Structure 1
Amino acid sequence: MIEKVFRSDDVPSVDRFDEWRKRLGRDVSPLNSHSDQGNAFRAETRLLRLGGSRVWSTVVDPAAIRRTPELTRQSDPGVYTLILPLSGGNEVAQAGREAVHGPFDMHVLDPSLPVRLRLLGSPSVHLIGVDVPKAGFPLPAAWMYQLLTRRLPGREGVGALLSGFLLQLTHDTDSYRSSDGPRLGATLLELLTALFAHHLDNANENNAPNSARRALVLQIQTFIRQHLQDPRLTPPAIAAAHHISVSYLHRVFQGEGITVSSWIRDQRLAHARRDLADPVLRNTPIHQIAARWGFPRAADFSRAFRNAYGIPPKDYRVPTATQLPLSPARDTRQAAPPHRH
């Protein structure tokens, strides 16, 4: 669990905004930004790495931020970003939609797409943000596209669970050990998935067939996550457990732009990567971690890991102090965004 801290007060006033912008570009993604505060600009940001995810808390003066089409072509951070405003708020525009969000109005963005964001507050804005890798994320890209910029209330239901977790997580960082990072990251992933699935169900409650199919997919995905370590986890076994045919199982998943086998592989790789980053397991041989997550042949695991993340597993397992989350080399599971009218 690594923490980085940036304080504008530690930088000469004439360089504060430029240094903040550069740090933002390195830690999040390259951005165009502007502030009217000039030399009076102030910001403080704390960045936590939880396995492959990042959580950042920032108090910053009003500013305008953009990911232009040119910047999205130059780099793809390969993450979804959730923003939780605590004070102040922001205006956001992405995917042909515009919205204004206030305190505890959570919303999700895709930095792979152009986006405009204005941070609004007096005198400053307090935000918590989450960057979670798309690779291995339980929900397909086409579903996530539906959620972009939408208000996800953070004071009620599943949203309150997530916002409470993020507030506690960023409030008392001194009490955590480095080995807590991957475990907290797993909890974060579960809460994010629950929140997004909840709002996807609500958005499609008037479309009974689609909602039923989504519910079935989520049910199957939960079953798969619970049995990832079982070598007998195959499409026929999954279909039998849900009283459907194998062909129907494939059709349900293909309708979302993914396959059953690729989703199982991505989940197993994501869990293996989490274990490789866990300091508690640093002495566990890589082949044992691979076998634990359904890869009995070390060569098959190494090849699949390299294809997914761009480096072999032995190179990913580096000392905790320098461990960085990976951007996926590719993600064959991601579906293209739906056609915009």
Structure 2
Amino acid sequence: MIGTVFRSEDVPAEDRFEYWRELMDRTIAPSDISSEYAADFWAEQRLLKLGPVTVWPASFLPMRFRRNAKLIRQSDPEEHHLTLLLGGSLGLDHAGRTDLYQPRDLWVTDTSRPYDVRPPDGAGRRAVAGVGVEFPKALLPVPPDRARELLGRRLSGQEGTGALLSGFLTGLHQESDSLQPSDAPRLGRVLLDLLAAWSAQVLDTEAGLPPETRHRAMTERIRAFVRQNLHDPELTPPVIAAAHHISLSYLHRLFQEEKSGETVAAWIRAQRLEGARRDLSDPALHGTPIHAVAARWGLPRGSGFTRVFRTAYGISPKEYRFQAPATAE
């Protein structure tokens, strides 16, 4: 597992909101934080340190974050803050823009400029959920005058590189229990590349990105595409290359440059086998025939699936399903 977890119920009720405020001051740039629900507060947060990047999936009762000129003079970490909203809604005043954000929207703020993040009128007690990202402004390969064009804009997390960035952030949260501390630096580099590629797409400055950033962003885009299409038995390297308008040789080169050195086909097979393994260990799917599990993940049926499964896990699918209740994580 990577990251630390905060749950308000672990703190005495009378101290919860003040504890949360102190936690937020350590996580983001110091802000004036208030809530109508301070007396009966609830919040959860996971804090992930990925090298120079901090990611913090969180859910909390409606509150207001205000950062003014005085707070900026007192402390300015010189960072950008990215928010991916997943539940509820929030209003933002920042850099001369005012907007209301809904689930799957993205926005960027600058710690050197005032902001006001607040629940909309009539929000009630409905919790807000999202993922926050803090990263040094100097690490975004965009000229400062162009980076200012991002601030306070309501941007989509459902299309293009925005969807890829959103998927990566939600995946980090979902998989954080299975990730190891040694994964953190690599994940931080991938996230910075995705942030760079996303901002360049929004600002139409993709040609100015370093080649290695473009390559890593493309690799992550391909991996996301593969994960979404693992059920398709026709998903092959030529199909993947064509879908991304790149040559087959370039696709292979992208994977060869990865630290693992795994081929495209081997990585696809490993993802499919891992999906099948999870299904075989799921009690809710115990009645699903093994050949149907294999077909669901685009794997060969019958003896072909048994052979590749045994090669990967040292046991047949049938034997694994029988032992899974005792061995599954």
TM-score interval w.r.t. the shorter chain? 0.5 to 0.7
Long gaps (5+) in structure 2: 216-329
- Separation in structure 1 between the aligned mates of residue 40 and residue 214 of structure 2, nearest angstrom: 52
**Cα offset for 1:226?**
8.6
Deviations, residues 13-37 of structure 1 (Å, cap 9, x unaligned):
1111111001100121211011011
CA distance in 1, matches of 2:185, 2:96: 35
Partner of 2:210, secondary structure, is helix
Residue of structure 2 in register with 1:83 after alignment: 83
Structure 1: distance between partners of 2:41 and 2:213: 46
Shift of the 22–55 alpha-carbon distance from structure 1 to 2, 3 Å rule, reads: same
Distance 2:28 2:78 in 1: 10
Q: Which amino acid aligns with 1:152?
A: L
Cα gap change, 1:94/1:175 in structure 2, threshold over 3 Å: closer, same or farther? same
**CA distance, structure 1, for counterparts of residue 24 and residue 145 of structure 2:** 27
Paired with 1:116 and 1:130, the residues of 2 have a C-alpha distance of: 17
| Residue correspondence of structure 1 range 219-298 to structure 2 within 5 A | 219-223=207-211
Q: 1:198, CA displacement in angstroms? A: 1.1
Residues 225, 200 of structure 1: CA spacing in aligned structure 2 closer, same or farther, 3 A cutoff?
closer
Does structure 1 conserve the Cα–Cα contact (< 8 Å) formed by 2:49 and 2:55? yes
- Which secondary structure does the structure 2 equivalent of 1:174 belong to? coil
What is the CA–CA distance in structure 1 between the aligned matches of 2:109 and 2:128, rounded to whole Å?
Answer: 18
What are the within-5 Å matches in structure 2 for residues 6-155 of structure 1? 6-119=6-119, 121=123, 122-155=125-158
Q: TM-score scaled by structure 1? A: 0.59
Deviations 1:215-239 (A, max 9, x none): 4xx5354248699xxxxxxxxxxxx
Change (3 A) 1:8 1:144: same
Residue 182 of structure 2 is aligned to residue 194 of structure 1: no
Task: Say if 1:45 and 1:37 are closer, same or farther in 2 by CA, change over 3 A.
Answer: same
For the residues of structure 1 that align with 2:211 and 2:41, how far apart are their CA atoms? 49
Aligned to 2:167: 164
The answer for the alignment partner of 1:3 in structure 2 is 3
Aligned equivalents of 1:149 and 1:157: distance in 2?
A: 19
Q: Matched residues in 1 for 2:8 and 2:14: separation?
A: 10
**Within 5 A, what are the aligned runs for 1:292-331?**
none
Deviations 1:4-62 (A, max 9, x none): 22111111111111110011001212110110113211111111011100100111000
Conserved? CA contact 2:2–2:179, under 8 Å: no
**Matching residue's letter, 1:175:** S
Q: Is the 8 A contact 2:90 2:119 kept in 1?
A: yes
What is the CA deviation profile of residues 231-250 of structure 1, one whole-angstrom value per residue up to 9, with x for unaligned ones?
A: xxxxxxxxxxxxxxxxxxxx
Q: What is the alpha-carbon distance in structure 1 between the residues aligned to residue 157 and residue 214 of structure 2?
A: 28
| Counterpart-to-counterpart distance in 1, 2:162 and 2:208 | 23
- Describe the superposition over 1:285-313 as per-residue Cα deviations: whole angstroms up to 9, x where unpaired: xxxxxxxxxxxxxxxxxxxxxxxxxxxxx
Tell me, yes or no, if the aligned pair for 2:66 and 2:114 is still in contact at 8 Å. yes
SS in structure 1 of the partner of residue 66 of structure 2: strand
Could you say which structure has the larger radius of gyration?
2
Change (3 A) 1:137 1:96: same
| Identical-pair percentage | 43
Evaluate the alpha carbon distance shift between residue 119 and residue 7 of structure 1 in structure 2; reply closer, same or farther with a 3 A threshold: farther
Structure 2 CA distance for aligned equivalents of residues 220 and 93 of structure 1: 30
Q: Mark the runs of 5 or more structure 1 residues left unpaired by the alignment.
A: 202-214, 228-341
Whole-Å separation in 2 of the counterparts to 1:64 and 1:105: 18
Distance in structure 2 (CA, Å) of the matches to 1:38 and 1:21 = 10
Aligned match of 1:252: none
Q: Contact 2:193–2:213 (CA<8 Å) still a contact in 1?
A: no
Structure 2 CA distance, aligned partners of 1:162 and 1:200?
A: 16
CA offsets, 1:295-335, max 9 Å, x none? Answer: xxxxxxxxxxxxxxxxxxxxxxxxxxxxxxxxxxxxxxxxx
> Using the alignment, how far apart are the partners of 2:8 and 2:57 within structure 1?
14
Report which structure shows greater RCO (CA 8 Å, sep ≥6): 1
